[in-house]
Amino acid sequence: MTDVQGVPATTVLAEPPVTVTLVRAATGPDPLRVLLLHGLCSGASVWDPYLARADERCELWAAELPWRGAGVEGWTARPVEDWVEDAVAMMPGRPDVVVAHSFGTCAALSWLDSAHGADAPRAVVLVSPLYRSGTQSFDWASIEYYLNNFLQILIEGMRARSGRQLSEERRQAIAYKIRDCIGPYGWMRFFETYLRMPHVRTDRLRMPFLVIGGAEDLVAFPSDATAFGSAVEDASVHILPDTSHFPMTSAPETFADLVNAYLTERSASPR
């Protein structure tokens, strides 16, 4: 049972708001325990294209977080880093590597910057990160963009990920339903967390980072990825051409090759 201490008694949470599942066991020696964190309005299935391509040493655990596509009412009553800590606590031992996508990168960085992140992973992979290094980079146009284009962002996400052929009308209807599940409070928590990124104490993040972005990403701009790469001591940044917000789906082979090579090279170092 997930610890939901701190949530007001009037808040109703689906059970369980967080789950963590072993989605692929390691088959090679010296396994690496990897925790996969999805973004807003997404889910653990976003990592499916990577599972079969992951290095044989990777023991892959996928979290279903309360900001998933179906939505969990009341999740905004707690800080996002607390939900990540819940996911970490559900694993049999702390993760060696954390891989996060989109809004999940904000949650992961908030967790690493908090007291919960004291026992840090050996390496972190940020995929399509939402990050800005200075508060001055946020302006009214930033709010207008993410608020007014939220529905279109959801539609583009479905178009990039869906293996089914859907009419534009059907896709839009689903996007409206997902938007309503997230609701104003969910959107506000998303943007409030994004606004906090300039305050993440990156000087404390001493583990190596792999940062992967898409050159055509209209949600997490390539400039976010490069800004984070410049903000930390040890980061390898790759912006993939002709790739949008889901590089694990639109460029699965390249994505897997980058992650596998990085983990082989960097995660062998001791904690």
Question: What kind and span of H or E run contains 239?
Answer: strand 235-240
Average pLDDT over residues 189-213: 95
Provide φ and ψ at 37, rounded to 5°. -120, 125
Q: What is the pLDDT of residues 37-66, one digit of tens each?
A: 999 989 999 999 999 999 999 999 999 999
Residue-level pLDDT at 162: 59
CB 210 within 8 A of CB 234: no
Categorize the per-residue pLDDT at 223 as very low, low, confident or very high, splitting at 50, 70 and 90. very high
Give the ranges where the chain is alpha helix by DSSP (H): 48-51, 80-89, 103-113, 140-148, 150-161, 168-196, 222-231, 247-250, 252-266
Residue-level pLDDT at 15: 62
Residue-level pLDDT at 161: 66
C-beta atoms surrounding 170 within 10 Å: 12
CB 6 within 8 A of CB 34: no
Categorize the per-residue pLDDT at 8 as very low, low, confident or very high, splitting at 50, 70 and 90. very low
Indicate if the pLDDT at residue 246 is higher than 90: yes
Residue-level pLDDT at 151: 85
Going from the C-alpha of 187 to that of each of 149, 151, 191, 195, the distances in angstroms are 12, 11, 6, 12
Indicate if the pLDDT at residue 30 is higher than 70: yes
Q: Give dist(CA 182, CA 163) in Å, integer.
A: 23
Angle at 102 between CA 157 and CA 129, to 5 degrees: 130
Categorize the per-residue pLDDT at 70 as very low, low, confident or very high, splitting at 50, 70 and 90. confident
Indicate if the pLDDT at residue 264 is higher than 70: yes
Categorize the per-residue pLDDT at 152 as very low, low, confident or very high, splitting at 50, 70 and 90. confident
Q: Comparing C-alpha atoms, which of 86, 30, 82 is closest to residue 55? A: 30
Indicate if the pLDDT at residue 9 is higher than 70: no
Indicate if the pLDDT at residue 134 is higher than 50: yes
Indicate if the pLDDT at residue 6 is higher than 70: no
Q: Comparing C-alpha atoms, which of 224, 193, 192 is closest to residue 211? A: 224
Residue-level pLDDT at 156: 79
Residue-level pLDDT at 12: 45
Question: What kind and span of H or E run contains 129?
Answer: none
